[in-house]
Amino acid sequence: MSVDLLYRPRRLRLTPALRAMVRETLVQPSQLVYPMFIEEGISEQQPISSMPGIFRYPEKSMDKAVKEARDAGISSLLLFGVSHHKDETGSDSLKPDGLLARMVKRAKDTAPDMTIISDNCFCEYTSHGHCGVIGTDGHVHNDHTLENLALQAYICAQAGADMVAPSAMMDGQIAAIRQRLDAEGYTHTPIMAYASKFASGLYGPFRAAAGCDLKGDRFTYQMDPANAREAQTEAALDEAEGADILMVKPGMFYLDILARLREQTNLPLAAYQVSGEYSMMSYAFQKGVLDEKRVVMESMTALRRAGADIILTYFAPRVARWLKE
């Protein structure tokens, strides 16, 4: 090939304007969901030692935290409760006046224009830290948990949740929730399915954040990190059961799963950049090993490029601010 005929990709990299013109992947604040921890019975916000810069906010003054997120440019929140009323079944989350319902209502009242998403699971509300009811065989009982999940999602919709997001990884959970919501008149409430949630070591910092006292592991219900075809099956099941958005969790180690699902489905996809991803990067930023803004934005771009329409991330307020600058 003569040099004159050589295609030169560098020609389109010469100036910032040219690079922007041909940029394939963009990140916008509207695509971000900010996960927030709300604790009952405390008066001061508590720093989470495993997640630098992240706090548990007191239920009493959660309005302030919600407004701060909104002012940063965030339009969607995912709420996690830190419960002081745990029991074997997580019954507090099934009450219309329990922490889960109260915080959803309060967030919605504070910021009616925001999308308030409830994380629907039991691990934050059970004394054993598992994602459902324990059966006589010592494992989480799938179908009993389904009934509870359907009730919990209904309680959240009633409290004002704009979207429910079941994360328990029980078989049939999307169908159970869809049926209950529809029967109660919440046909308009979308479900964001934690469709392929892997049993990952990257959730460690979250457990400290959410005050989860898990004994054992979640290998009997969350997915084996080794399985990609099974992730496609999980996503297909959730779509068939009526999910509106399919999520992959964690994010950065699972970009291949996002890319596969992008080929498989036309539904919107979400990626959850989890606590361990946040903490790994945060400690590197603290040490001056990595440049915070540059690396966080690169991670956002990577998740989007792999196929995520929506990104759940603890960096959300920072990303929204940087995008505004």
Binding site for Zn ion (CB under 5 A): 121, 123, 131
Question: Of the candidates 54, 31, 29, 26, which has an alpha carbon nearest to the alpha carbon of residue 274?
Answer: 54
Looking at the Cβ atoms of 78 and 114, the one nearer to Zn ion is: 78
Question: 55 - beta bridge partners?
Answer: 47
The angle that helices 62-72 and 316-324 make with each other, rounded to 10 degrees, is 40
How buried is 24 (Cβ within 10 angstroms: 0-12 exposed, 13-18 middle, 19+ buried)? exposed
Q: State how far the Cα of 300 lies from the Cα of 311, in Å rounded to an integer.
A: 7
Looking at the Cβ atoms of 57 and 80, the one nearer to Zn ion is: 80
Looking at the Cβ atoms of 39 and 111, the one nearer to Zn ion is: 39
Looking at the Cβ atoms of 123 and 181, the one nearer to Zn ion is: 123
Question: Of the candidates 81, 60, 80, 74, which has an alpha carbon nearest to the alpha carbon of residue 111?
Answer: 74
Active-site residues: which are they? 197, 249
Question: Of the candidates 174, 177, 161, 180, which has an alpha carbon nearest to the alpha carbon of residue 96?
Answer: 161
